[in-house]
Structure 1
Amino acid sequence: MSLSIGLVVHASRRGVFEEAVESLSGISLKWVTYGHERDIRPLVRSLVDGHALDGLLVGAVPYRACRDVLPPRLPVAVPRSSALDLALALSQAQVRGWQPVPVSIDTFDHEVVAEVTEALHLDRTRVTCLPYDDDQSVDDICAFHQRSLKEGSGYVITARTAVLRQLRGALRVLNGSPVPSSIRSELHELVSRVRHERAGASGFAAGVFCVGRHGRPGDLERSRTGLLHLLRATPELTDAWIEDRGRRGVLVLGRRTLFERFSRNWLVVPVLDQARESLGVRVAAGFGVGPSARTSVVLAERAAVRAESENRPCGYLMEDSGLVVGPMGPGGPPRTGLHRDQDDRDRDQGDRLRELARTVGLSTATLSRLAAIEQDLAGRTVTPSELADAMAITDPSGRRLLRKLHAHGLASSEGSAQTHRKGRPTGLYRLAIDAALTGSADGHPLTAV
């Protein structure tokens, strides 16, 4: 069955998007074409009210205008202008016989501009950049370009249609909006994410709950039996298969969606608090998600060992893709007083995490894992390679992930380091996911250079 994907595009860009999607199959496209920003919100509302969408591809400007009318769990991809788009715009200038610098660039991130200008050996001091910011107006961007090129020489590269229209006739200007290949890549990634989440939601999952070592064998037996009854009495696990695993463990088998509800999308493990309060024992929880029940159990056992090594009640998730999420702390059901306040905070943070994950275009589990890595770093910087190792992904994927985090204000560039005597320096980044979740920082873009 094909997926229903919505696309929100400016009328002047419709042809580019049509070229990008003409070779794709297995998806049904629902178009929203707008001419002015004021039209975006009502058009998108009509789209989501009238169709059961599986995903939405929407640019940064229209996303800002319509995000409050989007369904909470709708997967959304917000394309960002890439190094390829900038390189092609610079090549257009060369074809027209323009000097490569000075050039004033908006929307592109500092890191992308630095990467491309370094590769093309351009004089970086003659390149100015204004990264995308939700609060920027068209007039503000145009004023930036006019200040940057106040002597009248040079040209502008912009990814904003309204800026392109307003500057024509006043300055030389080129369109740096995503090209068909970039759009096609973003759409592929969105479709893959939707299909992966669907497959994961209907797939097997397992949980292994281990009672901490303590006291005499009889005490351990009673604790394990108490834990077994506690899990069987948990409403979210009503449809799960729960059995005594012997020694110190209890095994739970079910669909992934069941465990996601139980853990509030892999944020907390409420039963840990309940076991401590009602049974007086410390419990470690391991969750595994794989293509079969057998694989899921193996992964859950490994995750439980990882959780036990923390020497505190917590849980870990391990997927067959190599993704590890944790530590997940205790978090019981709403009660009274301070306990209820803490539960409300946990729930609010879970809502913020899901919203932030959707905005960035990552899964909740991935962003949760990144938040845990940031906690382990304790303010230290990280290289793309180090992040890739921590996430169990390839180095190129680590670089792409950091570029995506940086583009959304969830990581800041902190210079570079020469990790090897030979070769190019590698970038240093500081993660800022916790600040975005707690609201302790505004996540604004870096200042222009």
Structure 2
Amino acid sequence: MIGLVVHAAHRQRFADAASTLTGVTLAWAVYEHEDEIRDRVAGLLRGHRLDGLLLGLVPYARARDLIPADLPVTVTRSAALDLALAWARARGNGWPATPVSIDTFAGETIDEVATALDLDRTAIAALPFEPGQPVADVAAFHREQLARTGASYVISVRMGVAAALDGQTAVLHALATPGTIRADLNELALRVHTKRADGQRFAAGLFRTEKMNGLRQLLLNTPEFADAWIDQHGARGVLVFAPVSLFETVTHQWVGLPVLAEARDTLGVRTVAGFGIGASARLSVTLAERAAARAEQDTDPGAYLFTGDGMTIGPMGATAAPLTYTYREHGDIEDLAARAGLSAATLSRLAAIERGLDGRPLSPSELARALGITDPSGRRLIRKLTTAGLVSESGSAQEHRKGRPTRLYRLSITADSQDRR
């Protein structure tokens, strides 16, 4: 479970960025004014057993002392691309690139973008971020620069600046793009998985094809990957992060990878894969990228394994024994799936989500995000599970300041399987 601390105006942007992330449950702390941040973060930490926390510069500065020392944290911030896009919007509005007043961005970031766009750096006023700096001081800086330079607009990261300036000038918000947020979320999720390994070796697998969405769905529906973290990686890739033992099983000890043949037959295109085992999650991904690039040099579908100590295994073809449904931990899950009117693969993923929740209830929308489906589909799924006796109501929660409370449900798939065993 990853907690996100976001301004109310940013929530949809963060939700869009996280829409392809599977195997992760999101818990939200949403604020409208900066003085609400501490209470929202405290409530988030009290109400959830978080494995990681993603928040911006201002929330981190306001609530840093509340965050447990051993909790993995990523501070997301607007990047050079986000500033360049803000300038592009200004030019699209017919405004000059300079003079302009900018807050929060580091000086080197402004220098980098100004040089790339061939802008007059001396006509750009910049106020770097400082922890504890109130919005009123940021607004005062902009007023001073507007009066001095005659700038016609402001580029700001702080959501309260526009209100503080009270319409005195136009304010462009240089918000982090979904791509920037997504990269931060992916990096945090990898760190969380590494931390939770508890001595297990984890590996990365990168699958590449021309039909990335179809491949991702195929992997999500492959029972052997039920406990894996799966997400899009670039325009043609799907990244799988899981214990080495899982990959050893699906490759028959690094001999063959039948799912490549299944992808070829189902999607009608060639698919290759690369696996990486390194000392860190980042190194494992890098090795998997190199191994996939090597596999793409071959004519037939295949895979390679690269390890951090220089070992290479491959090519692994698509000719090993076919993948089968193996549910030793779940009991007779195929019967349960039939009872609920679901596929065995879907119920397998639900069982994996249940184990990750460790008894914590969740809302239909949380379940939908964990499975990568729409909220209405999540509610329909809850109704099916309720009818089959695989979920029970467990109170309610006020997810938003306005509106009715949301009902919470507790999954009982694994418990039911054990009762039937």
TM-score (norm 2): 0.47
TM-score (norm 1): 0.44
Which structure ranks higher in relative contact order (CA pairs < 8 Å, sequence separation ≥ 6)?
Answer: 2
